[in-house]
Amino acid sequence: MSIAFPNTSPGHLETFILATHSSVDSGLTACLWTEEDRLHDTISTLTAWSGDLDSVFCPMSLVVVTSAPTDHLTILKRFPELMSLSDTHASFGLSLHVLQVSSSFGGSANAYLNVARLLAPTDRVVLFPDGLPLHLSSNLYSSIIRSTSPQPLVLGNNSRRTYPFAPMSPVVLHKDYPIWCTERFSLFQSRSLDWEDCLWQLWLESAGEVKSTAVDSWPVVETGKYNNSALSLIKVLPKFISTLVWPVGLV
């Protein structure tokens, strides 16, 4: 995590400042992150995760990133709707974590999402790189919880079912899946570019075995003409190959 916050002191991450505990570990946790100044907007979308499943525990792991010198009590007082949501929605299993960084500029979006995944209470997670969509299908949770694929499952629509996937497409995967989103591209300072590299990484390291499924009412987002990571790899490969030492007699 040093790429994301290299100048912060130990103890900058406060975990589970708000948590709904459950013995269930076989569910599906929505993992997301937000800057503190966008928290109000994020809160307004949280209840969409459980949809109409009032009797089903639908956990979430939310990382709030802030550069202000604050503590968890200040956060909870500043956003009282977090407490009220937990009190009024039985299925609202929110785990809230606060991450203090030296500066909100230039951090790694993938690092923050990795933290949310690491602290998820269930054995499977859904990584939402840009938070929950405004118009989320009410049966999303119940439809993807049935997936048993050992490989990552990309959520989207019928317009893009194979790689390259639509920008900012969420991914369902096991919490202990061996591949984590790379954090080394934090210099892009962009959620979309960071996530594009994560999708590329998942697809590449799984030998193209990443699956995709269409979700009802999923927003259509146009895919860029070129994949940034693929172009980066094409540019790097010739330089890498030129550094290889070939055995005598083969050149």
DSSP codes joined into one string, 138-162: TTHHHHHTT---SS-EEEE-TT--S
- Residue 129's DSSP bridge partners are 131
Decide if 229 is inside a domain. no
Decide if 246 is inside a domain. no
pLDDT, the chain, mean: 75
Pick the more confident residue, 245 or 121.
121
Model pLDDT, residue 204:
92
To the nearest whole percent, how much of the chain has pLDDT over 70?
Answer: 66
> pTM of the entire structure?
0.79
Residue 173 is part of a domain; what is its CATH number?
3.90.550
3-state secondary structure of 221: coil
Decide if 59 is inside a domain. yes
CA distance 43 to 139: 19
- Per-residue pLDDT for 12 more than 90? no
CA distance 173 to 120: 12
Decide if 221 is inside a domain. no
Task: Pick the closest to residue 181 from 209, 205, 214, 150 (CA basis).
Answer: 205
Decide if 238 is inside a domain. no
Report the DSSP pairing between strands 29-35 and 58-66. Answer: parallel
Task: Note whether 141 and 122 are within 8 A (CB).
Answer: no
Decide if 80 is inside a domain. yes
Pick the more confident residue, 35 or 6.
35
Cis before 164? omega within 30: yes
Task: Note whether 150 and 68 are within 8 A (CB).
Answer: no
Pick the more confident residue, 4 or 28.
28
Structural domain boundaries enclosing 91: 13-216
Task: Write out the two tokens for 38.
Answer: 């966008």
- Per-residue pLDDT for 230 more than 60? no
pLDDT band at 185 (very low <50, low <70, confident <90, very high): very low
Decide if 248 is inside a domain. no
Q: What total of structural domains would you count in the chain?
A: 1
Decide if 228 is inside a domain. no
